[in-house]
Amino acid sequence: MEDSELIALATRVRERAYAPYSGYKVGAALLGVSGQVYTGCNVENGVYPLGLCAEKAAVAKAVSEGERQFAAIAVVTEDGGTPCGACRQVLSEFGLDIRVIVASMSGEIRTFTVRELLPEAFTLACR
């Protein structure tokens, strides 16, 4: 699947985000090695720690469907913000070489690996 297709899916699901507190909508499209794509959007809560990030929503959806290996994730925000630290750690659980495609609504695109976003990740090897 092309990066542009993942970005388009993340952009579409971003519109479903529930972000009444921050107004910061995030969409994610996670590509499993099977070729299946799992989308997620952020879901805020008045008790902030109970909110759910788009990336974690996509991972939870994928895992609940039996997918455990991922090739890439596209994350779309207004300003091209990268995944938060918690999302970086969640993604690292499934592979440090997952490509993370970060796009802004103005069209700026940057690509990283989870390893680049989270050096010294806490992994199974650390336990």
Among all residues, which ones are annotated catalytic?
A: 55
Cβ neighbours for 34, distance < 8 A, ≥ 6 positions apart: 67, 69
Burial class (CB in 10 A: 0-12, 13-18, 19+), 6: buried
Tokens of 47: 């008790």
